[in-house]
């Protein structure tokens, strides 16, 4: 029987691994279910960047939500979205003020 921990070959009747001491079972253990990939998909990243530029509030809200995640990939994506949302909002404010000044000058 092969030890699941260290891979050492042990006699079939052994209850413990002779190398590392791990308990051996005569029944094969079920395989661990696949661990879902954490993080953020690349499609989600691109979509949120576009949404953050078009609607800055979306970037700010999603950035705050994702920055509170313990997953480092989600935190990084959240920082990016938050930054893009804030920058887009500032640019929109500047453009709005400039457009307002142009309109006031024409009347």
User: What is the pLDDT at residue 107?
Assistant: 54
Name 40's Cβ contacts closer than 8 Å, sequence gap at least 6: 66, 73, 74, 77
Other C-beta atoms lying within 10 Å of the C-beta of residue 107: 4
DSSP 8-state assignment for residue 16: B
The domain locations on the chain are: 42-106
- pLDDT tens digits, one per residue of 8-37: 888 888 888 888 888 887 655 566 676 666
- pLDDT tens digits, one per residue of 37-93: 667 788 877 887 787 778 888 888 888 998 998 988 889 989 998 999 899 899 988
* pLDDT tier at 94, thresholds 50, 70, 90: very high
d(CA 55, CA 40): 20
């Amino acid at each position: 029987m092969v030890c699941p921990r260290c891979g050492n070959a042990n006699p079939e009747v052994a209850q413990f691994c002779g190398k590392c001491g791990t308990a051996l079972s005569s029944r094969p253990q079920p395989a661990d279910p696949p661990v879902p990939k954490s993080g953020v998909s690349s499609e989600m990243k691109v979509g949120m960047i576009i949404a953050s530029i078009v609607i800055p509030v979306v970037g700010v809200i999603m950035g705050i939500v994702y920055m509170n995640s313990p997953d480092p990939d989600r935190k990084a994506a959240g920082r990016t979205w938050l930054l893009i949302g804030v920058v887009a909002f500032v640019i929109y404010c500047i453009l709005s003020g400039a457009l307002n000044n142009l309109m006031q000058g024409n009347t």
